[in-house]
Amino acid sequence: MSYVVSQQDLTPHATTILAVQRGNEIAVAGDGQVTVGDVVMKHRARKVRRLYHDQVVVGFAGSVADAFTLFDKFERQLDQHQGNLLRAAVELSKEWRTDRYLRHLDAMLVVAGQGQLLLLSGDGDVIEPDDGIGAIGSGGPYAHAAARALVLHTDLPAPVVARRALEIAASICIYTNDEISVETLTSGEEAPHAGG
C-alpha cells in the first residue's frame, strides 16, 4: 500500500493565533508550531510580529511564506495610510481578494493597534470581533472558547488571558504547541471589552 502526498500536504502551516482586548490592552499570542502534513517541522516559530514603529501587532495562521508576503503588503499599506489600521486593513483585503497572485495565498491575519482588533482573510473579510476576542488557525476555536471563559469569569489582564487560553488550546489541538509568544499594545483610552 502506498501513501501519496499532495503538494498541499507539503505546505508548511503555522497555527494558532489569539488576540484579546481587555481594558486598555490588546494582547496577541501565538504558538510556535509549524507543521508540514502531519510532521512537526519547527517548535519555536515567531508568528506574532510588531509593525509600523511597533504600534501595530500582527499574527498569522496558515502558510508561512504566504503570511510573510501579506506582512510586507500590510506594512506598505500602513506606511501609505500613516498607520491608520482600519484603512490599511481594508486596502490590503481589497488587494488580497482581487490580485491574481495574492488571492491564492493561504493565510489569515489578526491585526491590532489604535485600540482596534481586526481579523483579515483572502475573501475580503475585515472583521472586528464583537467580544474583543479573535482567534485564527487550527486551534482557534479552542483558544477562543478558553479566552471567552477567562474574560467572563476572571479579572486577569489581556496578556495573561491570551497566554492561558493558548495553553489550553495546546493541550487539545495537535497543531498547537505551548511555545507561546505574546505581544501587548496599550492604548491611552479605556477600550471596551467582553465580560468583566
Q: Is pLDDT above 80 for 84?
A: yes
The number of C-alpha atoms within 13 Å of 36 and in the hemisphere containing its C-beta is 10
pLDDT value for 188: 61
pLDDT value for 159: 98
From CA 129, how far away is CA 135, in angstroms rounded? Answer: 10
Highest mean pLDDT among 57-71, 111-125, 178-192: 111-125
| pTM, entire model | 0.86
**Confidence category of residue 68, pLDDT binned at 50, 70, 90:** confident
**Residue range 61-81: mean pLDDT, rounded:** 88
To the query of whether residue 176 is one of the catalytic residues in this protein, the response is no
Domains parsed from the chain with CATH numbers: 9-175 (3.60.20.10)
The number of C-alpha atoms within 13 Å of 74 and in the hemisphere containing its C-beta is 32
Q: Which residues contact 1 (CB under 8 A, 6 or more apart)?
A: none
pLDDT (tens digit, 9 = 90+) per residue, 137-150?
Answer: 889 999 999 999 99
Do 191 and 112 meet the contact criterion of CB atoms below 8 Å apart? no
**Confidence category of residue 101, pLDDT binned at 50, 70, 90:** confident
